[in-house]
Amino acid sequence: MKIIMLGAPGAGKGTQAKMIADKYHIPHISTGDIFRANLKAGTELGMKAKEYMDQGLLVPDALTCDLVMDRIGQDDCKDGFVLDGFPRTIPQAEALDAALSNINQKMDYAIDVDVPDENIVNRMSGRRACLNCGATYHIVSIPTKVEGVCDRCGNPVVLRDDDQPETVQKRLAVYHEQTQPLIDYYKGQGILNTVSGTQPMEDVFQAIVEILGA
């Protein structure tokens, strides 16, 4: 079962990817985790990626795809995997398809967690994070016990720059320009399934489980 998660930043696709991975006992693969693991291990691919990252440049599509394929080639992926955060663009999707085709494999499902922009801006601007211990909260759905104070370590919680409404709007604009075309790409392959991400988290997951048919 090879699954790609699609959706705008803040749509909740990462949370759903983790839940899918837990239920079906397959790895949750995010490009951020792959980069960190390869950098930490000092692999050849990791060092190549570091050269770009150190210059503040995006890692090229071909190298990102090589890193993903290297991860997919590991034993724990033999029964499938959930990709989260890759591919982000049509060229990345094409590179992934070509690399999978070379080993006689293809993706089975692309699941789009669909949430209107307005909901995402409201959802993300309500997030609060503790910069000391990393705990995250939401002023509506997961409030701190004491307003503005982390439950875990007692330090202040803040609205991160990434979650400021203006920043969220910019990230959404990039998403619509670069990543949203993937919806039509996977629709054309006949593997796209869309679920409404405005429902409670458990209902979104239930809708995904029904799609996966297990």
User: Of 18, 50, 152, 160, which is the active-site residue?
Assistant: 160
Give the bridge partners for 84, in sequence order: 5, 30
- DSSP element (H, E) containing 67: helix 61-72
Burial status of residue 60 (CB atoms within 10 A of its CB: 0-12, 13-18, 19 or more): middle
User: Of 13, 71, 123, 128, which is the active-site residue?
Assistant: 13
Active site annotation includes 128: no
Q: In what order do the strands lie in the sheet containing 136-138?
A: 136-138, 127-130, 157-158
Provide the CB-side half-sphere exposure for 160 (13 A, CA).
15
User: Of 2, 71, 88, 128, which is the active-site residue?
Assistant: 88
User: Of 127, 128, 152, 170, which is the active-site residue?
Assistant: 127
Active site annotation includes 123: no
Active site annotation includes 36: no
Active site residues: 13, 88, 127, 160, 171
